[in-house]
Each structure stands twice: as C-alpha cells, then as structure tokens.
C-alpha cells in the first residue's frame, strides 16, 4: 500500500506543516493530482499524489508540523479492498475546504443510526460539504442509519418552515437556519466560499462583529514566517531609504502603441513592472555592489542577477519567486517570466528552487496607486527596490529648440531601501540616476 510522506522541499528544509488535505478519507485520487498542501519556512506548495487509488488513512491532520519523510497517509490502489480509517483529530478534505470544524463529539454514541463512527465515508463527506450534522438528517437505512440518499434528499428539499428563495437558495440548510435564528439575510453576510457563497463560518464571523466583540485571527504559517523574517531583517541591516522621480513618458508611449497587440498576442497586459525589472537588472550590471549579499564580515558580490519579485497572495502574505539569470531576458521574456512566477505563486505551484538564490528584489505596489514605499530588505540581500504608482502630471520639458515648456507626462517614484553597512548614499544615488536614464531613454519598442 503506497505511503504518502512529507517530501524534501529543498536541501536545508528539515520539516513541513500540513496546511490542507484536498481529499477526504475514502475518496479516490489520481496519480499526480494535488493531494495535500505543505508550508515550510521557504514556500507553500501543493503536493501531488504519489499513486492513484483510494485515500484510506490520514495520519497527520492539517496544522501539524512533522519531519521530512514522515508518513502522512496511506493510499490503497485496490478500491474494493479498502478499509477506511482516519487518525483521531484529523480533518478530512471537505471539512478543510469548507473551513468548518469536524463533526462534533455530541453526535457520537447515539443509538439512532447517526453515530459518527457508523456513517460511511461518503455520508460523512456529504454532511461536511453541505455543513450538516448527522442530527439534521432523518436516516431511512437499517436502524435509522443515514444513507447517501438521505443526505441528498435533505439538501434538495426546501425547509418546510422557511422555503429557500432567491439568494437563500444558494446556501446550505444549516446556514439558512443560522441566518433565520439571528434575523439576518444572505445579503448581510460577506461570503468566503466558492463563488462568494456564504458559509457557516461567515455567518458566525458576522455575528461576532455585530456583537462588538473582538475577533482573534491566528497568524497563518506564512504570516508568522513573514513577521519573523521582517523583524530579523530590521534588526540586522542599517535600513536607509532613497527615492527618485522617474519620467515614464518614454515607457508610456510604447505601452500605448503596442499594448493592445501585446495583450492580444500574449493574453495579458503590458504593465510597468517588466520595464522596471529590465531597467533595474541593466543598472545592477553597472552597480554590482547592490547585487550582493552580506557574508561573514564581507560583501559577496554575485556574478549573475537573480531577480526576486514580491508577490501578494491576495492579502494572505508575500512570497518572493526568483527570475534566474535575469540579465539575459528581453522585455517580452521578462514580462512572461514574471507573470508565470506570480501565477505559480498564487496557485501554490512553485517549488523551493523557484523561491531561492535571489540576489536583488523588486516589490511593486504601484498598481494600487501608492506614492512612496519604504520596503524591508529581503535578507541576506543588501537592497530592495519599490516601484510605486504612475500618474499623469504637468512637467517642465525642453523642446527641440531648447526652450522650456509645460507638458503632460506619466510620472512615478521608485524607492530604494539599502543596507548602509555596505552601501553609501552616493553609490545608491548613482544607481537610481542610471535606472531613471534607462527607463527614460532606452528604445523599448525594439524589444516588442
């Protein structure tokens, strides 16, 4: 029987935290299909199933941290021979997806056929998926045992006392009951389920906020690790911020002229980020002490530029996938590589290797209209560049005849946070001046 084990996610990674199971005990899984999610101190990633068959045991529940190589579950490749079992306290897939707790202990030990241990895996999964407890469903099987048909019939039938109409029809009976008991409608609650569907946890959260009580939101693994990394960075480096105004009109003309055809060809928009990335990489070639790390009483200047690009995980945290050998990429290649890494990060498809060996980092809050960002250095690097919002503004420019005039250009700020232990202000200022010159004068159109 194939074992599901904690994988080795990088040479220096010794343990991992199981954050989610995508399959419930008793469900079938195909080889290579995402089976569970692991969080380490470097990356969150989905792990594919090592074999096809039926998941017969979850030995390590979500939220538990174990060493690499630990057996997490078992898969039976012969479904007809399955004997389903689950480690006490382990949450199954449907419960993890719904965000609701396991079936309560109050349902155990009943003699009317609703004892949780007597329910089949399929029934347990259906109950969890529809936010139901065994006591919500009338069993028609032997000794009142709940069958699959009983659960489906209960879900399909409207509540006798309050027929489900309009928005209410899209929520489970348990959610409708909670809404009715507390005088709420579906429109009063922000849904976090698939497609914005209102779940039980959403109603309970809304009730907590309505009561004026404080809500305790535990740090996720990625939030906790980010906090530790940021505090350690501030305690390590002598952070210094330097800001430069950039005239992006040269870039904006190219975006206006080629943006539509680029999107039609590539399937995504041509943003400012790849321009900033290519320009930064070129400038780093001339100012290599910013493409460096701090070693043991020494500055380690890296021979190639591995550009880290900070990616926001929909407010859940930040990760920094790395564009390897970035100096070899054209504008179009940089845009494609950055997009692929960002998409992979948000879908948790990246490996530890995708997140390692960065030598310089860019963070890009500009799409949200920020003015100036003082980012924290990604250790052990010595600098990080923040690219902020670009807006149309009146500026003084010099005409072909040498006369000054007022024109409307696209203007934005870039902010370099550097480690003053190893970089002086003049060196950082010259780097920013060269970055501005590249953005303002490079023939970007030739690269598209």
Q: What is the pLDDT of residue 78?
A: 65
Could you give the dihedral angle defined by the CA atoms of residues 38, 41, 43 and 45, in that order, rounded to the nearest 10 degrees? 0
Task: Tell me the CA distances in angstroms from 186 to 166, 182, 211, 398, 408, one per residue in order.
Answer: 10, 12, 18, 59, 48
Cα separation of 334 and 328, whole Å? 9
Q: Which tens digits make up the pLDDT trace of 418-435?
A: 999 999 999 999 999 999
Exposure string for 38-75, b = 16+ CB within 10 A, e = fewer: bbbbbbbbbbebebebbbbbbbbbbebbbeeebebbbb
274 close to 339: Cβ distance less than 8 angstroms: no
According to the model, what pLDDT value does residue 156 have?
59
Least confident of 92-106, 119-133, 222-236, 311-325: 92-106
Higher pLDDT, 115 or 404: 404
Other CB atoms within 10 A of residue 119 CB: 23
Q: What local confidence, expressed as pLDDT, does residue 448 receive?
A: 84
Burial of 404 (0-12, 13-18, 19+ CB in 10 A): exposed
Answer whether 400's CB lies under 8 Å from 415's CB: no
Strand arrangement of the beta sheet that strand 360-363 belongs to = 239-247, 404-419, 383-398, 360-363, 307-309, 322-323
The pLDDT assigned to 283 comes to 98
d(CA 245, CA 421): 25
CA distance 175 to 130: 9
Q: Could you tell me the pLDDT band of residue 150, with boundaries at 50, 70 and 90?
A: confident
Rounded CA-CA distance 415/371 in Å is 10
Per-residue pLDDT of 182-227, as tens digits, reads: 888 888 888 776 566 787 778 877 887 776 677 777 777 778 778 8
Integer Cα distance of 81 and 417 in angstroms: 61
pLDDT, tens only, 10-48: 655 678 888 889 998 888 888 888 899 888 766 778 888
Token pair in block for residue 80: 């007809």
Q: What is the pLDDT of residue 409?
A: 97
Instruction: Identify the residue whose tokens are 């690219």.
Output: 387
Which 3 state secondary structure label does DSSP give 15?
A: strand
Q: How far apart are CA 444 and CA 437, in angstroms?
A: 13
**Residues with active-site annotation:** 420, 424
Residue 165 or 187, more confident? 187
Check: CB of residue 409 under 8 Å from CB of residue 393. Answer: yes
pLDDT band at 172 (very low <50, low <70, confident <90, very high): low
Sign of CA dihedral 246, 233, 278, 292: positive
At 321 the pLDDT is: 94
Longest dimension (CA), the chain: 97
The DSSP code sequence of 413-426 is: EEEEEEETTT--HH
* Cβ neighbours of residue 344 closer than 8 Å, sequence gap 6 or more: 321, 350, 354
* Residue 197, both tokens: 């569907």
Task: Give 65-99 pLDDT, tens digit per residue.
Answer: 888 889 999 998 864 433 444 444 444 443 443 34
In our burial notation (b when 16+ CB lie closer than 10 A, e otherwise), range 183-219 reads ebebeebebebeeeebbbbbbebbeeeeeeeeeeeee
In angstroms, how far is the first alpha carbon of the chain from the final one?
Answer: 53
Both structure tokens of 69: 């190589």
**pLDDT value for 94:** 39
Distance, CA of 441 to CA of 291 (rounded, Å): 23
The DSSP bridge pattern shows strands 322-323 and 307-309 to be antiparallel
Q: Which residues pair with 240 in a beta bridge?
A: 418
């Amino acid at each position: 029987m194939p074992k599901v084990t904690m994988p080795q996610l990088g040479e220096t990674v010794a343990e991992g935290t199981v954050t989610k199971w995508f399959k419930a005990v008793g469900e079938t899984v195909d080889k290579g299909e995402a089976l569970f999610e692991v969080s380490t101190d470097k990356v969150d990633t989905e792990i594919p199933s090592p074999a096809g068959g039926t998941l017969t045991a979850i030995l390590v529940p979500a939220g538990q941290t174990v060493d690499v190589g630990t057996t997490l579950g078992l898969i039976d490749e012969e479904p007809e021979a399955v004997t389903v079992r689950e480690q006490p306290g382990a949450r199954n897939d449907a419960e993890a997806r719904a965000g609701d707790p396991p079936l309560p202990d109050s349902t155990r030990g009943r003699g009317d056929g609703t004892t949780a241990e007597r329910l089949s895996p399929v029934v347990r999964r259906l109950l969890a998926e529809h936010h139901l407890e065994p006591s919500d469903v009338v069993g028609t099987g032997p000794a009142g045992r709940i069958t699959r048909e009983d659960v489906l019939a209960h879900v399909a039938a409207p509540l006798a006392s309050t027929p489900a109409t309009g928005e209410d029809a899209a929520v489970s009976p348990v959610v409708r009951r909670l809404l009715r008991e507390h005088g709420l409608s579906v429109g009063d609650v922000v849904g976090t389920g698939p497609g914005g569907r209102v779940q039980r946890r959403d109603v309970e959260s809304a009730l907590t906020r309505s009561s004026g009580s404080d809500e305790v939101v535990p740090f996720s693994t990625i939030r906790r690790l980010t906090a530790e990394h940021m505090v350690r960075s501030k305690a390590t480096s002598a952070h210094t911020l330097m800001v430069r105004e950039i005239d992006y009109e040269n870039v904006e003309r190219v975006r206006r002229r080629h943006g539509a055809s680029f999107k039609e060809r590539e399937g995504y928009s041509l943003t400012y980020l790849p321009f900033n990335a290519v320009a930064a990489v070129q400038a780093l070639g001339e100012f290599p002490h910013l493409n460096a790390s701090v070693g043991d009483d020494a500055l380690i200047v890296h021979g190639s530029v591995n550009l880290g690009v900070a990616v926001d995980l929909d407010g859940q945290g930040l990760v920094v996938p790395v564009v390897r050998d970035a100096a070899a990429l054209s504008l179009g290649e940089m845009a494609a590589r950055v997009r692929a890494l960002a998409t992979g990060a948000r879908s948790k498809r990246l490996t530890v290797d995708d997140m390692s060996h960065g030598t310089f980092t860019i963070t890009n809050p500009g799409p949200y209209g920020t003015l100036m960002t003082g980012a924290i250095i990604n250790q052990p690097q010595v600098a990080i560049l923040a690219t902020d919002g670009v807006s149309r503004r009146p500026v003084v420019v010099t005409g072909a005849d040498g006369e000054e005039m007022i024109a409307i250009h696209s203007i934005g700020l870039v902010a370099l946070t550097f480690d003053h232990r190893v970089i002086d202000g003049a060196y950082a200022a010259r780097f920013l001046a060269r970055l501005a010159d590249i953005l303002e004068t490079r023939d970007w159109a030739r690269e598209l």
